[in-house]
Copies of this chain bind each other. A is one copy, B any other.
Amino acid sequence: MKFDPKIISFLRPELREKIFEKSTIMVFSKGDEILREEQFVKVLPIVLEGLVKVYSRFNDKELLLYYIEPSQSCVMSFYAALKNTPSKVFASVEEDSKILLIPVNYITKWIKEYPDFNELFYNQFNLRYLELLDTIGHILIDKMDKRLYEHLKKKSHLYANQTIKMSHSQIANELGTAREVITRVLKKLETEGKIVQNMGKIKIID
């Protein structure tokens, strides 16, 4: 199987070749659900291109946990795969993505054989934990206007695009709040000159 050697370049060439030999690459389109809560995981995804969103749901509310960017993996899948326990989170494709799927039986083997592969997951776990900690900080101390603004800025960086195309209710979901609140706060941010809205698009001034 062909592969771009720049991807997961932090792993040793030897392991990288094994990974590409045993794995499959799948292409997903924007909006595809790739993981549901309570679903068992049989392959570990590593995003090669695109963007995947991982989120949790409480009652009817949703909360964005993290994005998986190229070269990153999903620790929740990793653990679910390792322990053969069902997933507690959801994942869906935000941007058309190319994803490397590693069969779970090799995971166990390789984390023993390749310390840097093992470390990769510790790094990811740590990263995600700190991100979540950060999220809690924002929820606890920031007001909606700041949370929303930071959220939009983060998104614009991820997409490498000043302009975001999302409905108010989608944003509300990601922040775990109601649509009207987003409409209200977006208007406020607009009068403050921090963003510009037109035709369903939001431009971040920064």
Contact = CB atoms under 8 A, between A and B. Distances in A.
B132 A136 contact: yes
Nearest to A141: B58
A140 interface: yes
Copies of this protein chain in the complex: 2
Q: Sort chain A's interface into a size bin.
A: 20 to 34
A11 interface: no
A98 B128 CA distance: 30
A182 to B, nearest CB: 15
25 contacts: A56-B133, A56-B136, A56-B137, A58-B137, A58-B141, A59-B141, A61-B140, A75-B125, A75-B129, A76-B129, A79-B125, A79-B126, A82-B122, A88-B130, A112-B115, A125-B129, A128-B129, A129-B129, A129-B132, A132-B132, A136-B136, A136-B139, A139-B139, A139-B140, A140-B176
